[in-house]
């Protein structure tokens, strides 16, 4: 790819000044139009060292409204960030609708440094496969984000010249702000790594634009051309999408999806005495496991979905009441608020994943995408249909970082739900728990059964399994949740300790 | 204070169980009522080590909806957090309206550790005066937060017993989650420190409740009694406030406030040639200063207020265009969004203060409290009146951490504003900048003059000065902003380097 780039073009100063002003005005106008159209844009700058990327970025952003963008650099990644799943920091840096994020080196930089640099402690963390990067970018693109990837190219000779000049004129002054020093300068080694990167991640959703920076003025103008063209395309795509989202959408239920829920008998026995005994035992064990997991920095995600009045709240309360509250958080999930609506639908979950060694419980989850949003037609079919794949990818990223990811479907039958609704209405302490909305949802029971079956079918994975909890008997349900968690946690501990043990033996 | 506490009371097991259930139900009910009334509550637990604070907190929260609260611990304060102003982390941990935050040791713990412990590197950071803590709590209380401060008390003999028992039963297992180990056990030294703390911070806005934990069951029940009583008081205060905020409010303008704006002649000369020369020079110098400040981790806050079309945007653009975008952020401030409205009005600014060594520019600011909110009657007089004091305290906290805090009022006269509005309407590239709202605001010019004069009078402080920028000539205005910043930055650098120099000489 790089071989095809013409580095010989030069732009005289006079031509440059005139064109720069013209393109600046256009870019400024398009930037405002994108903000009004609420299109979020992600601009990445990667490339060889010594290509004046800093200057290039400064020139480009001078055309944009300074209130509309944020600039980030992956070279500022902290040790703390390396303890979270790779993409966590980038999810947190996503622009809201109508915003622009500019990345002076992003996820590619980290990956490339791994390929070129000496393997060290953090090596595994950096070594994210290209197909996962492609997945990440595709998820964003299909979620409405425009991703513009720019690669600054240069010859070895010019690179050497620039770096020498840079050293004289700026010395070590800039290190505090532009930590370029940590990037290598072995031109040939980097060229090989970059070729591979450009080839493997040049996708239809987020293609690369190689910018010749041999002549800085030429590079700046070409970058502006790319941005103008991409901004225009993003605007016209936003227009088209507005129209197409008004088109009627239908969904044929898939007969190949098994009736998973029907396999479960909601009625399981459990008397109070056995419950009390086991509850105590399980809570003690969970408290111990919380400490052991915290020591080893193993994080846990516990996701609860289920029928209204299915017993989520009670199960969460029993699960957490023995835990140290400094080590867990319960995240209630309801309809997204104004801020959350301004981001990708998965953003609000990525920003709530557990800290290293902690437990995050979700009372309702990201599965709302394929449950309520599907059943209530809040989201077009083509969008929630993608949810299964996007959610699996997200959970896999967490599991790769060593997270325990466990999902529960709290299952009761319609008769039991009716009894509970009635009981709640009659109990003054519980009547707040029941709303007209809950009664309305009962009418959609069958539509939900279809949605739940498809969800269980498509997202029950080895790294993030579903457990259906038979819930007509609350005692039974709560204990099943707790014993499932104990089992998952014990296995995770054993796996980590085994690994540490075999390492110690080798060492 | 502690001498007055009776530690002898004991509660038998049977009585405890019955009372606990009754109080739990009441606390659960009141917790939901507070959520519905949108009252935010902050509960602090401080006290002697060995008082089973962890168990106490667990028992209390078992009565609350786990989705309604968050638990924090100041013993988890990181090195990174110690590089920001002391109260930053606590502002970030504020609950939203209707939420509860529970602090297993909070700001007092940090301060107390300073008083008891060996002075070290971080000593100065911890050494926050009690009157600043009182200011912080008063600001929150008057902003609608209920602060419930609980101190767990115990005798030296019982403390020794508990710690010995704790050691046997839990060993080192709990360290990962409850870093109690860093808290000292010198009973007498702590008792002196605690007495002083309780005396100096026992304010009407946030009084202390001493809980006797000699007998754990007694302590748990008494804590629940305190919470029930405080929750009830918070609910009834919320009711009263609702009524009183409907009462008519008037504001008599204060004749003692000087007519500060009238002292400035908006017309200052500056030709384009001089401007171009100086602009280049200033931008180069600002770029250098940004690097020097970043190296020394000195943060900068630049706040812009001014008349509509007063030139804020242009000044910000010239100021930032020479800076490295990795080291600054521009924060546009408009009417608060849904999330921001759910917090104290200063929360959205505390969460946007600059990282160590970086620059945060605010395009409109926290002064909206005493400008637009005053003039448009968005906020009751008694509330915005407090703003001067609250804002001064906030800026002083920043300055104490070494921040440069500089505020600009971009000043033009009504005729110049009229010319600019007209010009914007006629320029297709700028017409987006002008709205009907802008024209309406012109009618309130005199009301704004009063508000600006009072703001300049009350909030021009040595640690966060105002600079009024004569703005009819844009060239002059931009250069004045830049030269003011250069001056502030150079002085801050000199002060820090002087201090380092005299330290080095001594050492």
SS (H, E, C) A221-264: HHHHHHHHHHHHHHHHHHHHHHHHCCCCCCCCCCCCCCCCHHHC
The Cα B393–Cα B405 span in angstroms is 13
Rg for chain B, CA atoms, rounded: 27
Per the model's pLDDT, the better-predicted residue between A243 and A38 turns out to be: A38
Q: Where are the domains of chain A?
A: 11-238, 259-503
CA separation, residue A257 to residues A253, A260, A266, A368, B400 (Å): 9, 8, 21, 19, 64
CA separation, residue A80 to residues A77, A104, A269, A326, B78 (Å): 8, 20, 46, 18, 11
Torsion of CA B485, B490, B495, B498, to 10 degrees: 170
pLDDT above 60: residue A121:
no
Region of A296 (left: φ > 0; alpha: ψ -120 to 50; beta: rest) is alpha
The Cα A266–Cα A306 span in angstroms is 13
Instruction: From B121, B119, B125, B116, select the one nearest B88 (Cα to Cα).
Output: B125
- Residues in contact with B126: Cβ distance below 8 Å, sequence separation at least 6, in sequence order: B86, B110, B111, B113, B114
The Cα B226–Cα B210 span in angstroms is 10
Task: Take residue B466 and report the two structure tokens written for it.
Answer: 């105002």
- Give A86-95 pLDDT, tens digit per residue: 899 999 999 9
| Ranges of chain B whose pLDDT falls below 50 | 171-172, 180-182, 246-249
- Give A199-223 pLDDT, tens digit per residue: 889 888 898 999 999 999 999 999 9
Rg for chain A, CA atoms, rounded: 27
Instruction: From A375, A397, A393, select the one nearest A384 (Cα to Cα).
Output: A375
- Residues in contact with A95: Cβ distance below 8 Å, sequence separation at least 6, in sequence order: A40, A41, A42, A69, A70, A101, A145
The Cα A214–Cα A6 span in angstroms is 9
The Cα B312–Cα B409 span in angstroms is 9
Closest chain B CA to residue A331: B67
Report strand pairing: A359-363 vs B41-47: unpaired
Alpha helix (H) residue ranges in B270-413? 272-295, 312-321, 338-341, 347-350, 372-375, 381-400
pLDDT at position B120 is 58
CA separation, residue A233 to residues A41, A147, A187, B198 (Å): 12, 12, 34, 64
Are the C-beta atoms of B270 and B476 separated by less than 8 Å? Answer: yes
Quote the minimal CA–CA distance from A171 to chain B in Å: 12
- A57 neighbourhood in chain B, CB within 8 Å: 325
What b/e readout covers A400-437, taking b as 16+ CB neighbours within 10 angstroms?
A: bbbbbbbbbbbbbbeebbeebbeebeeeeeeeebbeee
Confidence of residue A6 (pLDDT cuts 50, 70, 90): confident
The Cα B23–Cα B17 span in angstroms is 10
Residue B466's H or E segment, with its range, is strand B466-470
Quote the minimal CA–CA distance from A179 to chain B in Å: 10
Eight-class DSSP state of A174: G
Per the model's pLDDT, the better-predicted residue between B453 and A163 turns out to be: B453
Quote the minimal CA–CA distance from A285 to chain B in Å: 13
Strand partners, A44: A103, A149
User: Three-class SS of residue B157?
Assistant: helix
pLDDT at position A119 is 53
Nearest by CB to B429, which of A29, A62, A290? A29
Strand partners, B306: B410
What b/e readout covers B319-342, taking b as 16+ CB neighbours within 10 angstroms?
A: bbbbbbbbbbbbbebeeeeeebeb
Confidence of residue A447 (pLDDT cuts 50, 70, 90): very high
Query: Is-same-fold flag (B11-238; B259-503)?
Result: yes
- Residues in contact with B355: Cβ distance below 8 Å, sequence separation at least 6, in sequence order: B299
Strand partners, B275: none
- Residues in contact with A393: Cβ distance below 8 Å, sequence separation at least 6, in sequence order: A132, A135, A136, A139
Q: Write out the DSSP string of A287-312.
A: HHHHHHHHHTT--EEEEEEESTTSSH
Q: Is B54–A324 a contact, with Cβ atoms under 8 angstroms apart?
A: yes
Nearest by CB to B62, which of A174, A321, A357? A321
The Cα B84–Cα B185 span in angstroms is 29
The Cα A305–Cα A410 span in angstroms is 6
pLDDT at position B248 is 45
Q: Is A363–B67 a contact, with Cβ atoms under 8 angstroms apart?
A: yes
Torsion of CA A408, A413, A419, A422, to 10 degrees: 70
Give how far the C-alpha of residue B164 lies from the chain's centroid of Cα atoms, to the nearest Å. 40
Q: Is B337–A338 a contact, with Cβ atoms under 8 angstroms apart?
A: yes
Instruction: From B426, B144, B481, B428, select the one nearest B306 (Cα to Cα).
Output: B481
Per the model's pLDDT, the better-predicted residue between A435 and B419 turns out to be: B419
Closest chain A CA to residue B342: A337
Specify the residue for token string 């055309």.
Answer: A63
- B106 neighbourhood in chain A, CB within 8 Å: none
Q: Is B357–A330 a contact, with Cβ atoms under 8 angstroms apart?
A: no
Residue from A70, A103, A177 whose CB has the most chain B CBs within 10 Å, to mutate: A177
User: A259-503 sits in which CATH class?
Assistant: alpha beta
pLDDT at position B157 is 94
Quote the minimal CA–CA distance from A317 to chain B in Å: 7
User: B11-238 sits in which CATH class?
Assistant: alpha beta
- B330 neighbourhood in chain A, CB within 8 Å: 66-67
Instruction: From B377, B268, B363, B261, select the one nearest B316 (Cα to Cα).
Output: B363
Cβ burial of B91 (10 Å; 0-12, 13-18, 19+) is buried
pLDDT at position A440 is 85
Phi, psi of A416 (to 5 degrees): -65, -40
Give how far the C-alpha of residue B140 lies from the chain's centroid of Cα atoms, to the nearest Å. 9
Are the C-beta atoms of B24 and B62 separated by less than 8 Å? Answer: yes
pLDDT above 70: residue A177:
no
pLDDT at position B333 is 92
- B57 neighbourhood in chain A, CB within 8 Å: 325
Task: Take residue A38 and report the two structure tokens written for it.
Answer: 């609420």
Q: Is B177–A294 a contact, with Cβ atoms under 8 angstroms apart?
A: yes
- Give A79-119 pLDDT, tens digit per residue: 778 888 889 999 999 999 999 999 988 898 777 776 676 55
Q: Is A329–B70 a contact, with Cβ atoms under 8 angstroms apart?
A: yes
pLDDT at position A193 is 87
pLDDT at position A181 is 46
Q: Write out the DSSP string of A336-355.
A: --HHHHTS-TTHHHHTTPPP
In what side-by-side order are the strands of the sheet with B69-72? B69-72, B100-104, B41-47, B146-153, B208-212
- Give A39-91 pLDDT, tens digit per residue: 999 999 999 988 998 889 989 998 898 888 888 888 777 777 888 888 999 99
In this structure, of A231-245, A290-304, B240-254, B446-460, the range with the lowest mean pLDDT score is B240-254
Quote the minimal CA–CA distance from B218 to chain A in Å: 20
The Cα A434–Cα A203 span in angstroms is 48
Rounded to 5 degrees, what angle do the CA atoms B45, B47, B53 make?
60
Instruction: From A49, A38, A31, A128, select the one nearest A89 (Cα to Cα).
Output: A128
The Cα A345–Cα B298 span in angstroms is 37
Count of CB pairs separated by less than 8 Å, A with B: 103
């Amino acid at each position: 790819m790089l071989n095809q780039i013409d580095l010989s073009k030069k732009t005289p100063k006079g031509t440059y000044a005139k064109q720069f002003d013209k393109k600046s005005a256009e870019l400024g106008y398009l930037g405002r139009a994108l903000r009004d159209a609420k299109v979020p844009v992600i601009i990445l700058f990667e490339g060889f060292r010594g290509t004046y990327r800093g200057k290039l970025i400064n020139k480009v952003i001078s055309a944009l409204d300074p209130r509309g963008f944020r600039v980030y650099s992956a070279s500022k990644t902290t040790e703390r960030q390396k303890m979270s799943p790779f993409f966590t920091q980038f999810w947190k840096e996503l622009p809201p609708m109508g915003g622009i994020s500019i990345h002076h080196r992003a996820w590619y930089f980290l990956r490339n440094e791994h390929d070129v640099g000496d393997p060290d402690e953090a090596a595994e963390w950096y070594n994210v496969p290209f197909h996962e990067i492609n997945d990440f970018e595709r998820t964003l693109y299909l979620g409405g984000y425009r991703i513009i990837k720019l690669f600054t190219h240069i010859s070895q000779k010019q690179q050497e010249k620039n770096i020498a000049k840079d050293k004289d004129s700026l010395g070590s002054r800039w290190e505090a702000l532009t930590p370029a020093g940590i990037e290598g300068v072995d031109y040939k080694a980097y060229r090989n790594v970059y070729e591979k990167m450009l080839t493997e991640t040049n996708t239809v959703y987020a293609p690369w634009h190689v910018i010749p920076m041999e002549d800085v003025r030429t590079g700046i103008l070409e970058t502006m051309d790319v941005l103008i063209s991409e901004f225009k395309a993003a605007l016209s795509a936003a227009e088209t999408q507005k129209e197409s989202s008004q088109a009627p959408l239908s969904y044929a239920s898939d007969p190949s999806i098994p009736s998973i829920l029907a396999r479960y008998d909601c009625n399981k026995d459990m008397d109070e005495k056995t419950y009390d005994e086991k509850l105590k035992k399980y809570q003690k064990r969970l408290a111990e496991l919380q400490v052991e997991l915290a020591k080893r920095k193993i994080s846990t995600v516990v996701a609860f979905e289920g029928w209204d009045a299915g017993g989520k709240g009670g199960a969460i309360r029993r699960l957490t009441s023995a835990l140290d509250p400094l080590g867990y958080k319960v995240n209630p999930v309801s309809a997204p608020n104004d801020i959350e609506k301004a981001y990708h639908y998965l953003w609000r979950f990525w920003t709530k994943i557990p800290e290293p060694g902690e437990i995050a419980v979700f009372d309702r989850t990201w599965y709302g995408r394929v449950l309520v949003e599907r059943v209530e037609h809040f989201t077009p079919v083509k969008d929630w249909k993608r949810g299964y794949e996007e959610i699996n990818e997200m959970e896999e990223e967490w599991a790769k970082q060593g997270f325990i990811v466990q999902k529960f479907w709290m299952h009761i039958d319609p008769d039991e739900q009716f009894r509970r609704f009635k009981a709640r209405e009659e109990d003054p302490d519980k009547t707040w728990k029941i709303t007209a909305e809950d009664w309305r949802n009962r009418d959609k029971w069958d539509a939900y059964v279809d949605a739940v079956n498809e969800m269980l079918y498509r997202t029950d994975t080895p790294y993030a399994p579903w457990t259906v909890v038979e819930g007509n008997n609350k005692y039974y349900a709560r204990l099943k949740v707790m014993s499932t968690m104990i089992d998952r946690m014990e296995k995770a501990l054993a796996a980590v300790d085994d690994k540490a043990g075999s390492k110690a033996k080798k060492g």
